[in-house]
Amino acid sequence: MDDPICPLCRRPIPPDARQSLHHLIPKLKGGKGGPVVLLHQICHNEIHATLTEAELARDYATPEALRAHPRLAKFIGWVAKRPPGFHSRTPGPRRKR
């Protein structure tokens, strides 16, 4: 069976890679029980370092919208050159809450 594909960076997610489920609409904004996608942990961290819960709910509730965000697009270009199981701490300042 093929590994699942991360909808953000479009790399495979091997079984031993750090991974997590991302609620497309944040739970705090009514997304509890809503659609989730499996992401690399590094991709999930970058989403939450870039966007607030309100921005995610309002403007970035699809993988396509997330990929179109300028900072996330730059991150995707960078992480695409890394092996599928790659993980590192998310650099840079956290977004404002």
Q: Which residues contact 85 (CB under 8 A, 6 or more apart)?
A: 14, 16, 17
pLDDT, tens only, 8-43? 999 999 999 999 999 999 999 999 999 999 999 999
Span 53-79, pLDDT tens digits: 999 999 999 999 999 999 999 999 999
* Contact call for residues 9 and 79 (beta carbons, < 8 A): yes
Instruction: Please state, in angstroms and as integers, the Cα–Cα distance from residue 18 to each residue in 39, 57, 67, following that order.
Output: 9, 24, 20
- Cα 47 to Cα 66: distance, rounded to the nearest angstrom: 8
Query: pLDDT tens across 39-55, in order?
Result: 999 999 999 999 999 99
